[in-house]
Amino acid sequence: MLFGPGGRYSANQLTVRANMLNELQSAVRLLNQELQGLLLVLTE
């Protein structure tokens, strides 16, 4: 369901997928912050 070809999903499955995508977005944003901090230190 999460990484498959698609199809019909229940409301619960869509909620699970939305939650997973929100977690992924948070992780990517945190990584971006960490990389921006590293870049700042390296360019000082």
Instruction: Identify whether 41 is part of a domain.
Output: yes
Average pLDDT, the chain: 91
Instruction: Identify whether 35 is part of a domain.
Output: yes
As a whole number of angstroms, the distance between CA 1 and CA 13 comes to 8
Instruction: Identify whether 44 is part of a domain.
Output: yes
What distances in angstroms separate CA 22 from CA 8, 14, 32, 41, one per listed residue?
A: 21, 12, 15, 29
Domain residues for 21? 10-44
| Confidence band of 2 (pLDDT split at 50, 70, 90) | low
Instruction: Identify whether 36 is part of a domain.
Output: yes
pLDDT at 8 over 90: no
Instruction: Identify whether 17 is part of a domain.
Output: yes
Global confidence as pTM? 0.75
Instruction: Identify whether 16 is part of a domain.
Output: yes
Count: domains in the chain: 1
